[in-house]
Amino acid sequence: MSDAATVAAWAPELRLLGRADYEVTFAAMKQITLARSSDARDMLWICEHPPVFTQGIAGRQDHLLLPGDIPVVQTDRGGQVTYHGPGQVVAYPLVDLRRAGYFVKEYVYRIEESVLRTLAHFGVTGHRVAGAPGIYVRLDDPFSHAALTGPHAPPLRGSLPPEGADSPWGGPAANRGPHPGADPFRGLGKIAALGIKVSRHCTYHGVSLNVAMDLEPFSRINPCGYAGLRTVDLSTIGVPVAWDEAAQVLSQKLVAFLAP
């Protein structure tokens, strides 16, 4: 089966939840995952949340600096603390990995690739940083297609379906970053955060892309456990995109790149 036919054959149920309470959404996707049968249709939920800090399963309290009036919710996903709020597109893929035919590391790679291609759609070059899940942009020039350099760039992963002009800098090979060291994030801002959970070979939780937010709450935490890490959104770097448009593009990329 061709790549195009494979993508066409995989049609997850798309749920546009609008602005949804985080705890209610978390409980619902967890319950669906625990109860789903082997032939249950995969789903993709797209939403935004009212202001909330969420802690990963091994999250450290010292990364919560000053939460103030924003609630903190303990979750069962991986990773440390992050912030969700209005103006951020949150995507929750509920995928049966055994049926999809790839493992967790490949799943994470595919989600990140979906974000990279979404940013490319808006003219922005995103980057991976070794050992730090999520997607980052150059603060001095987020539109430059030049790859990050460093002797400890992460190894290349398996190939994914090309999208031609949608990847002007040459696809996955160019999106490599330096190994975390004294300052792995120098000159970078985080624009997308990723945290997942896999239960019974099925995924929940997902990825968030910052579009046009109030970024102040990120200063109340060490985002994803990294002190001093700057967080940005598309608006901050000069890309005025409506939430609905960003949500639509990210949905399309996730459907394409999470296909079996």
> What residues are labeled active site?
224
Q: Collapse the DSSP code of 26 into the 3-class scheme (helix H, G, I; strand E, B; otherwise coil) and give the result.
A: helix
Q: Rounded to an integer, what is the distance from CA 96 to the centroid of its chain? A: 18
Q: What does the buried/exposed string (b/e) look like for 49-67 if buried means 16 or more CB atoms within 10 Å of the residue's CB?
A: bebbbbbbeebeeebbeee
Q: Rounded to an integer, what is the distance from CA 186 to the centroid of its chain? A: 21
37: number of Cβ within 10 Å: 6
**Nearest CA among 239, 199, 203, 233 for reference residue 83:** 233
Question: Which helix or strand (DSSP H or E) is residue 8 part of?
Answer: helix 3-9
185/60 Cα distance (integer angstroms): 20
